[in-house]
Structure 1
Amino acid sequence: MNILLWHVHGSWTTSFVQGKHRYLIPVNDARDQWGRGRACTFDWPESVEELPLEAIRDADVAIVQRPEEIDLVPPGLPVIYVEHNTPKGDVPDTRHPMADRDDLVIAHVTYFNQLFWDTGETPTAVIEHGIVEPAVRWTGELERLAVVTNEPVRRGRVTGTDLYERFLPVAPLDVFGMGVRALSTPGITAHEDPPQRVMHEQLARRRAYLHLCRWTSLGLSLIEAMQIGVPVIALATTEAVAAIPDGAGILSTRVDTLVEAAHWLIEEPDQARLMGDRGRRAALARYGLDRFLADWDNLLEGYLCGSR
């Protein structure tokens, strides 16, 4: 199958393109958001080809991830819209931009997203995340806390950036992602957009991982940290409550509880290892790559058969 797909979310796409298909990624001279082409900081297989959009003529289906892409899809090509994000604005009544359409299906990445978006009569599916298992394993020798997020200063309360300082009396923070250079708080070290492999190696050396997003879809970096075996500390919000089962991490909406948990894990590396091991088993069982790819194949084949 030939699949047209814009390079929007590098981590998600890295998992998606591990399948058995041919993946056609638009590229332009500027390599901007509409034509990034192949990833530079993720490992993608040779089945991913970058081509100018006008040269992509043999696609069987388009995977769309932003409303603006709809008008770029060649006429008559079946469309699956992947919804990565939680709704914004008046959340209980937020209408999805693809609501009440019969010419596509919306594939949510979490059941939380499916629950909170109002998609009207548009058919929906949920395909939970699956990731390429990181090659490294937790060692935790550095008494530091890790965070992975993009644009933490611009996004502020959404990503829980205002909570970082609450943890500094416990241990220094290392923040990885795009736009993290804007952080200027003493005790916080910014690691600007490292290659995925390098980031995994660095996460494995930190004692624990903080997931402080108030309102977000399920971050793939949380799953990656769990599969590495890093013990995780998270706000009990959105899909995190399903991703981190009892005993596989620390969940709470009380920030003081999370700070106390961080102190405990810093002081008790053996307990940190046990928790990380439980989290790793849970993440491998729920977010394995084989299940993810099989779910996508089932949706693609079923949808294409029904659209012909």
Structure 2
Amino acid sequence: MRILAWHVHAAWMTSFVQGPHEYYVPVLPDRGPDGMGRAQTYPWPESVREITPEELRTADFDVVVLQRPHELGLFQRWAGRSLGRYGVPAVYVEHNTPRGDVNDWQHPLADRTDIPIVHVTQFNRTMWDNGRAPAAVIDHGVPDYGYQYSGDIDSLVVSVNEPVRRWRVAGIDLVRQIAEQVPVSVFGMGADELTAHIHSGLADVGEADQDGLHKRMAMHFAYLHPYRWTSLGLSLIEAMTLGMPVLVVSATAAPEAVPATAGLVSSNVDLLAATALRWLVDPDEAREKGMAARAHALEYFGLPRFLDDWDRMLKEVCR
């Protein structure tokens, strides 16, 4: 199957392109948001090829995987064809939770009956008003990066990009609160900016490529997932596959994704901090939680299940 999809979310796309198909990603000279081309820091297979807007005019695809509303217009302008019932089959992946007033949570494709909306969590499907559009859920899948947990560093770790801009959405104010009791390290694009906003409790900040990030994360004694409003951060699932015990703010899809055996999911920030302090003096409990987290993540968020689900969806769309 020949699939066109924009490179939008590198971590999700890294899992998606592991299937047995040919994948084409638009590329522009500046490699901006509408043409990033192949990932530079993630391991993508050779089956992923870059394609220019000019080449789209004559290229044939079995299906287009959309991830942003304006991509419908981009495809029509660049390829000179429409999508859906009277054009190339398409499916829309909704990665995000809705924003704004709850009464305005209508999905941009709610009036389309010919392009299914695939949500990445059950929470997302429930929160969005999908209107007349067919709506389905394909839960996240992540590669198995192997058991890497050592827990040698007495610091919690958070993985988040642009933490200052995403302050409350990403729960960075909660990170600051927890850091008053337990050291916290933060890694991701723009993490260095935190030093101007959090003046104590930060053990380490910085950026790392994906492979380096996993190694650095797994050296810390537990993973902290402070997000208030995100569908389900892939960094949380990846931390679990590494064998890390997790402390998770009880929001959006997290309570359904993380079992009690893997750590603690709670909206009580003081309880999250207290549990972290307990694990510091009881590393055996932390390691046991991490082993359970890994087993759960491999069973429910493994790559084979994810790719099988997507194969079924793409075949259905192309029928």
With the shorter chain as reference, the TM-score category is: over 0.9
Deviation string for 1:14-34 (max 9, x for gaps)? 000000001101111100001
Residues 1:135 and 2:146 aligned together: yes
Deviation at 1:187, TM superposition (A): 3.3
Deviation at 1:88, TM superposition (A): 0.4
Compute the RMSD of aligned alpha carbons: 1.2
Equivalents in 2 of 1:23, 1:53: separation in Å?
15
Deviation string for 1:83-115 (max 9, x for gaps)? 000000112541111112022110100000000
Structure 1 unaligned regions, length at least 5? none
Matched residues, percent identical? 48
Residues 1:261 and 2:267 aligned together: no
Equivalents in 1 of 2:102, 2:278: separation in Å?
36
Equivalents in 2 of 1:4, 1:262: separation in Å?
44
Q: Match of 1:104, SS?
A: coil
Deviation at 1:12, TM superposition (A): 0.1
* Residue equivalent to 1:51: 51
Query: Mean alpha-carbon deviation: is it higher for 234-243 or for 93-102?
Result: 93-102
Aligned residues of 1:136 and 1:201 also touching (Cα < 8 A): no
Aligned residues of 1:170 and 1:262 also touching (Cα < 8 A): no
* Residue equivalent to 1:161: 172
Instruction: Provide the TM-score with structure 2 as the length reference.
Output: 0.93
* Residue equivalent to 2:206: 191
Q: How many residues align?
A: 304
Equivalents in 2 of 1:140, 1:86: separation in Å?
32
Q: Select which of 291, 294, 302 maps to 2:305.
A: 291
* Residue equivalent to 1:8: 8
Equivalents in 2 of 1:258, 1:87: separation in Å?
27
* Residue equivalent to 1:90: 101
Equivalents in 2 of 1:105, 1:264: separation in Å?
46
Q: Select which of 133, 149, 155 maps to 1:144.
A: 155
Equivalents in 2 of 1:289, 1:117: separation in Å?
26
Q: Select which of 111, 114, 134 maps to 1:123.
A: 134
* Residue equivalent to 2:84: none
Deviation at 1:155, TM superposition (A): 1.1
What amino acid is the match of 1:68? H
* Residue equivalent to 1:38: 38
Equivalents in 1 of 2:124, 2:105: separation in Å?
11
Structure 2 unaligned regions, length at least 5? 82-86
Moved over 3 A (4+): none
Equivalents in 2 of 1:70, 1:115: separation in Å?
24
* Residue equivalent to 2:186: 175
Equivalents in 1 of 2:180, 2:104: separation in Å?
40
Aligned residues of 2:178 and 2:269 also touching (Cα < 8 A): no
